[in-house]
Structures are given as structure tokens and as C-alpha cells.
Amino acid sequence: MLHIDAIYIKKIQQSGSLAELFPMLQNAIELEHSTIPPYLTALFSIQPGKSNEARKIIHSIVIEEMMHMTIAANILNAIGGKPQINNPAFVPAYPGPLPMGIGNGLIVGLEKYSLEVVKKVFMEIEEPENPLVLKSAAETEQTYSTIGAFYLAIQKKIEEIAPYDLPGNKAYQVTSSFFDADQLFPIYTKEDAIHAINIIVEQGEGTSTSPVDQDGEIAHYYRFEELVRQRKLIKDDNAPHGYSFSGEPIVFNPSDVYPFFPNTKINMLKKGTEEWNRLNQFNTSYFSLLAGLHTTFNGAPAQLDNTIGIMYDLKLTAEKLGATPFPGNPGFTIGPSFEYIRPNEA
């Protein structure tokens, strides 16, 4: 169960103005982003054309994390803050804890896809406040502060202190044709913000009574659980909460995965080698992506389209890294390192 340092909840609760929520929403953006490199690393490690079901599931989750990051930035803009994406502090050092000390020391790294990493890391990240027991007995520990609780505290505070029409510049709201308009929408009012936070929480955790959110979409936690159980979660009237992992098998063969060296860093490679250049190209794209997102979230929402192209550049470079043997580490290939390095500093 992921604990969040109670101080953050407290800070939210004690906020007397929207400005005091700015750092909390900045934290939320950073938190949403912090899950993306680990999920993407796992996704990129699945070789082309193989383990397609697993790929689709992780892909669906990482896309939603990107949307959650966008929603958090929209809320910050809506209440008058300025998202800060293009600085070194924005990017966590992997392996390491998630932002805000979330997770009671859970260490998150950049590793190839495996059932173990899904179970021990990804499901931990997405674990709901009260995980539903879906046709299997498991003990759950009651606790009080999760990522969901953090969002709900922000939601409550906005409801409490914000004016109905939120003060941010409406032109800064980011939407995209790649997401449903009823999930990623401009946040102009308090109601919009409340609704948007519900989407983040429910997509991550599900509802307290069902593994699916109000749109009938399976929450991240349970989608990851599908991977671990290697079965699709389907409706099952005989099961508790109406769902069970009794659907189509999700075939996964460990040899379908590139053997990324865990938590690759560029300084593990000799500067000036082809391998170094290729990883540097990856980091250059990542830097460019964050720069583009910063621009997007700071008054140029149309720039989002440009960042989509960079995401493909990242993917393609990572796939090539996956096929590139790691010099001096037999049996491993080079992992995407997601390091914030100015291209001219590398």
C-alpha cells in the first residue's frame, strides 16, 4: 500500500488560498510524470510484434498517465499557477522514490517488462485505497493516505475555497483529439476541476466498489493485475464485485523482452561511442519533449501536437537501444535512461 507523507495532505487541508495549492498541483504533475518513464521502459522492452496483449495493456495505462499529467497541469493553470516541466528537478532519479515520498520507501526503477516488476512496482504505484478482492482471498491493510487520497484532498480544498469560475487563463487549457473530450476537457470552473480529479482517481484506482471506473474502464491497478495473473479481467456475475480474472489468457514469454540493463545511465557508456550517441539521442529527445510540454502547458496548447511526434522519436530510439548490446555487460542491452541532460551538456 502506498503511503503518502501526511504532511502533503495536511498542507492541502491547511491551504487558505489557491496559490498555496500551486506546489501541490506541481507535485501532482511530477507524480503523474514520474510513473511514465518506468512504464514506458517496460513497454519499450517488449519486442516488436511479440506479447501484444501485454503491450496493449501497458500502453493503455501509460497513455492515461500522460492524460493525467495533462489534467493536473490544466488544473494548475485553471487555478492560476504555472506548470514547471523543463527543469532538472522535474525528473526523478531512477531508481528512487516517487515524488512526495510516496510509497513508504517504494523504489521505482527503469527496468524491462517482467511479471515481477509489474507486481512489485507498478501495482504498488497504482494500488487503490482499498483494493477489491476479485475472486481470490488476499489480506489488505487498511490505511488512509494514497495517491487517490492526495487528489481527493486537493479536490475538497478546491471545492471549499475556489470561486465557481476559476481564475486561470482559459486559453492555457490543453485538450487533444487523441483523448476523449469527456476525459480531457478544459477546466474553467470548480465543477470541471472536481470532475477532472475524479477521472484521475478512478482511472488509477477504480471506484471503491468496482474495478472499473464510471465509464466501465478497468482501473490501472486491475489492468496490471491482469498482466500478473495472465488473464483478462471480465464481467462475472458469480464473482465478488462482478468481475473475475477468467478472461482470455494473456500470453507472455520472457524471451519476448529486450534484456535492458536495469537503470541504464549514459555515464555507464563510453562517451563518443555509437552506443553513447544513441542513448544521447534518446535523452535529447526526452529533453526536447519536456521542453515542448513546458511550452504547451504555459500558454501554447497547440504545441501538444508537436510533442506527440517526439514521443514517437523516443519510442523508435528506445527500440533500437533495446537491440543494442551493452558493452561490457554481456547478456544486456541498453535501456532508455530518461535523463534530463541539456543536449549541449552531454
Partner 1 sequence: MSYLHAPRLVFTGDFLSDVSTVNNDTAHYNNETFKPDFQKPGQGATNGWWNPEGGAVFDFQNCRIRQLSLPDGTILSHPSQDPLIGQVVMGAEGRPTGKMVDIDPDAQMYSALWCVQVRICTRDNELLLQGDLDTTSFRDIQMRQTDGAKNNGQALGATWTSTLTNVQWGEKANWSPFLGRLRKTTQENKLSVNLNSFGYYYAHNDGRFSLGRILGSIGPYFSNEPVTFAAARRLYGIYQPAGQRSTYFSTSNFLVEYETNSVTVDLGASFPVENSLGAIHLNQRLYLAVSKIPVQFAPDRNNPAYYISQSDVVGIGIVGYASGNDWLMQTGGVVSLNNLPSETMRLLTDHQLLLITMVQGKPDQFLVVAREAIDGQVVRADNFVLRLDCRETQKVKFHAYQWGRPLANALIKTSLQPPTPDTPVGPNNPISVIYGNNFPQDGITFASSVVTAADGTAELQLTGNPIHSPRHYIDGQIYTFDYQLDEVDPAFGTENIVVHLRDEFETIENPVWSDIVSIMTQYGNLYPVMSKYIASFADPVALIEKKDIFIFAFSRPLENTMHMPVTRDLSEGKRQTILNWLHHPVTDDKGTSSHLQAVAKPENPVPENTPLTDNQKKYKEAVRAKNGAVAEFQVIGNLFEN
Residues engaged in binding partner 1 (CB under 8 A): 48-49, 177-178, 272-274, 276-277, 281, 284, 287-289, 291-292, 294-295, 303, 305-310, 312-313, 315-316, 319-320, 342-345
Pick the closer one to partner 1 by CB: 27 or 86.
86
Residues composing the chain? 346
Shortest Cβ distance from residue 13 to partner 1 (Å)? 37
Shortest Cβ distance from residue 321 to partner 1 (Å)? 12
Shortest Cβ distance from residue 204 to partner 1 (Å)? 23
Pick the closer one to partner 1 by CB: 175 or 306.
306
Question: What is the DSSP secondary-structure string of 272-325?
Answer: TSHHHHHHHHHHHHHHHHHHHHHHHHTT-GGGHHHHHHHHHHHHHHHHHHHTSB
Q: Which of 114, 184, 175, 110 is nearest to 338 (CA)?
A: 110
CA distance 293 to 261: 28
Pick the closer one to partner 1 by CB: 60 or 329.
60
Alpha-carbon torsion 101, 107, 113, 116, what sign? Answer: negative
CB 141 within 8 A of CB 134: no
Shortest Cβ distance from residue 303 to partner 1 (Å)? 6
Q: Which residues of 174-196 are buried (b: 16+ CB within 10 A; e: fewer)?
A: bebeebeeebbbbbbebebbbbb
β-pairing, 234-235 with 243-244? antiparallel
Pick the closer one to partner 1 by CB: 55 or 68.
55
CA distance 189 to 79: 9
Instruction: Find the helix or strand (DSSP H, E) in which 336 lies.
Output: none
CB 273 within 8 A of CB 147: no
CB 35 within 8 A of CB 2: no
Shortest Cβ distance from residue 343 to partner 1 (Å)? 6
Instruction: Find the helix or strand (DSSP H, E) in which 140 lies.
Output: none
Shortest Cβ distance from residue 116 to partner 1 (Å)? 26
Shortest Cβ distance from residue 202 to partner 1 (Å)? 23
Pick the closer one to partner 1 by CB: 165 or 274.
274
Pick the closer one to partner 1 by CB: 194 or 291.
291
Pick the closer one to partner 1 by CB: 144 or 178.
178
Amino acid at the residue 33: H
Shortest Cβ distance from residue 179 to partner 1 (Å)? 10
CB 239 within 8 A of CB 134: yes
Pick the closer one to partner 1 by CB: 185 or 188.
185
